[in-house]
């Protein structure tokens, strides 16, 4: 797709709030979410020529963002895992949080394919309903519901 700066800006304007909310739900930190969105937008701008149809922009950039978040979360999990072994993190009551459980959930999330991650991320973390997700990803609402159900079942199998 041919795209100049102003066209990209117009496309980005339609999704920037959703991108930030999605990243915030995954990253759980405002600064990390902003960093992830910024990195995804730069990557999208640099690779806009690979996008075939403007109608696919929203799902395309969400996929890029999901990959950026995935990479950052993996890196962060490795970092926290090494710090946890030295007892560096404690909650207000002096207990160490259960990073193992958080890591298990993240690993179960990353078992999903990209579209399933988007559906789960937007649904569970972002609070979007099936119709809204369907609109974002150019899918039927019932398709979104079945994809979400199958993805959650996959995660449940991994977590058992």
Q: Which of 5-9, 16-20, 133-137, 146-150 has the lowest mean pLDDT?
A: 133-137
Cα separation of 82 and 153, whole Å? 30
| Domain annotation for the chain: domains and CATH numbers | 5-159 (1.10.10.10)
Element at 15 (helix H, strand E): none
Calculate the alpha carbon distances from 17 to 21, 26, 49, 77, 157 in Å. Answer: 6, 14, 23, 26, 33
**For the stretch 38-63, what's the b/e string if a residue is b when 16 or more beta carbons lie within 10 angstroms of its beta carbon?**
ebbbeebeeebeebeeeeebbbbbbb
Burial-class residue 6 by CB neighbours within 10 Å (0-12, 13-18, 19+).
exposed
DSSP 8-state class, residue 56: G
Segment 28-68, tens digit of pLDDT = 788 998 999 999 999 999 999 888 888 888 888 988 998 89
Alpha-carbon gap, residue 110 to 116, rounded angstroms: 10
Question: How many whole angstroms separate alpha carbon 139 and alpha carbon 130?
Answer: 9
- Whole-number Cα distances in Å, 49 to 2, 23, 54: 6, 24, 11
60-105 confidence digits (pLDDT tens): 898 899 889 888 888 876 666 544 444 455 555 555 656 666 677 7
Smallest CA-to-CA distance from 85 within 75, 76, 96 is with: 96
pLDDT for 144 beyond 90? yes
């Amino acid at each position: 797709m041919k795209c100049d700066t102003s066209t990209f800006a117009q496309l980005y304007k339609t999704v920037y709030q959703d991108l930030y909310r999605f990243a915030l739900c995954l990253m759980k930190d405002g600064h990390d979410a902003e960093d992830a969105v910024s990195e995804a937008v730069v990557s999208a701008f640099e690779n806009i020529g690979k996008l075939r149809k403007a109608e696919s922009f929203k799902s395309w950039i969400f996929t890029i963002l999901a990959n950026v978040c995935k990479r950052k979360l993996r890196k962060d999990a490795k970092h926290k895992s090494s710090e946890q072994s030295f007892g560096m993190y404690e909650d207000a009551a002096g207990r160490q949080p259960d990073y193992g459980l958080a890591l298990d959930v993240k690993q179960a999330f990353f078992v999903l394919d990209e579209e399933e991650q988007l559906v789960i991320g937007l649904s569970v973390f972002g609070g979007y309903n099936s119709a809204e997700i369907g609109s974002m990803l150019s899918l039927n609402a019932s398709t979104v519901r079945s994809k979400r159900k199958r993805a959650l079942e996959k995660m449940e199998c991994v977590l058992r």
